[in-house]
Amino acid sequence: MSLVAHSLDVIKSLQAPSGAYPASPTFSAYRGYSWLRDGAFIAEGVSRHGDVAGADAFHAWCARVVGDRAGQVDALVSRAERGEAVTAAEMLPTRFTLDGVDGDDDWWDFQLDGYGTWLWALREHVVRHGGAVAGVEKGVRTAARYLTAFWRVPCYDWWEEHVEHRHVATLGSIHAGLRAAVALGVLSATESAAAAGAVEGIAELVAREGLAEGGHLRKWLGSDAVDGSLLACVEPFGLYPAGHPAGEATVAEVERQLARDGGVYRYLDDTFYGGGRWLLLAGFLGWNHARAGRRDEAVRHLEWMAAQATPEGDLPEQVSDLLLAPDRRQEWLDRWGPVATPLLWSHGMYLILAHELGVTA
């Protein structure tokens, strides 16, 4: 079986009856949970390869999960508008159980990027297949209100770290998500105007504070470091698209600092499982190369991803052969066991990059 076919089979076979995609079926810290961010890219992968029903079910699940929290969002927004403090613990979670309820395990939960990424992926799916996903309006409006109200607030990044900072990859995902929400045509005129204002505000903030010397995007406002997640701000989110000087500088700097032999590190100070190279980030770098017309470079990353598969064809979260902090690996093995395998987000990113390159087998 080809890796494309196996990836589709893994994702389809593990999708919950609710429509949720589990992050990883056996990894101790992820088991039983679905992230909006991970799931959105997984859904984008299967949507590109014709699993319309699977992507529809995921987006409908997201809409239910978010829409069910409309009252919570309205209360949070009202409090913020009155100038009351809203703590990170009171915000919507970044992950949900497969049945769509808040989990009871401790987690670094306040992350805004997943809500923007879901809206972006929903719009991509709808445009690609020429139809609407039934029943998503309430969820879209709720997510848009939430992001419009709180995009300025520091939160955890893609990696569940540094809640005290405003992360540029998070701002990029919100920028893309709110643009998508407006384009979906379900917001009221007032909601659309507010979302458009937030999009403009994000663009102005990033232009003013989000670019380091040399013209590339920063890991967070005030830092000159880079992060693999910044690749998404170029392609697919288009905060600074391929061809824009800041987009080109960001891809080049991430590649210079974090890419090695086809794989991509999260960031230079990473110690999670010793700081290995992540398959999904290789997918993002390949995606950017493909969109910029650098096919050979994109193919190299696709081939590297495929080479990390287990004999059964499953793709892990990261690999441990060229670690940034090898002395820190054992503590994570002791805490959570072996690296998450399969990671459905890795399979989703493989599907996306394969589609970009016209690879179907």
Contact 27, 336 (CB under 8 A): yes
For residue 105, give every residue at least 6 positions away whose Cβ sits within 8 Å of its Cβ, in sequence order, or none. Answer: none
Whether residue 221 is contained in a domain is answered as yes
Whether residue 361 is contained in a domain is answered as no
The count of other CB atoms within 10 Å of the CB of residue 115 is 28
Structural domain including 120 reads 3-356
Whether residue 270 is contained in a domain is answered as yes
Whether residue 115 is contained in a domain is answered as yes
Let me know if 164 is a catalytic residue: no
Contact 154, 212 (CB under 8 A): no
Contact 125, 59 (CB under 8 A): yes
Averaged confidence pLDDT in the chain: 97
Nearest to 303 by CA among 263, 331, 336: 263
What integer is the mean pLDDT of 59-77? 98
pLDDT at 105: 82
Contact 212, 168 (CB under 8 A): no
Let me know if 314 is a catalytic residue: no
Contact 58, 65 (CB under 8 A): no
Dihedral sign for Cα atoms in the order 142, 107, 18, 173: positive
Query: What percent of the chain stands above pLDDT 90?
Result: 95
**β-strand 277-278 against 318-319: which pairing, if any?**
antiparallel
Q: What is the 3-state secondary structure (H, E, C) of 135-193?
A: CCHHHHHHHHHHHHHHCCCCCCCCCCCCCCCCEHHHHHHHHHHHHHHHHHCCCCHHHHH
Decide if pLDDT at 107 tops 90: no
Nearest to 217 by CA among 198, 200, 234: 234
Domains in the chain, number: 1
Q: Catalytic: which of 74, 160, 161, 297?
A: 160
* CATH number for the domain harbouring residue 335: 1.50.10.10
Q: Catalytic: which of 51, 235, 253, 317?
A: 317
Q: Confidence class of residue 133 from pLDDT cuts 50, 70 and 90? A: confident
pLDDT per residue as tens digits for the range 113-129: 999 999 999 999 999 99
Whether residue 186 is contained in a domain is answered as yes
Q: How many CA atoms lie within 13 A of 262 on its CB side?
A: 15
What integer is the mean pLDDT of 317-329? 97
Nearest to 37 by CA among 349, 361, 360: 349
Whether residue 347 is contained in a domain is answered as yes
Residue type (1 letter), 95: R
Q: Catalytic: which of 157, 235, 255, 270?
A: 157
What integer is the mean pLDDT of 279-301? 98
Let me know if 124 is a catalytic residue: no
pTM of the model: 0.97
What integer is the mean pLDDT of 257-262? 98
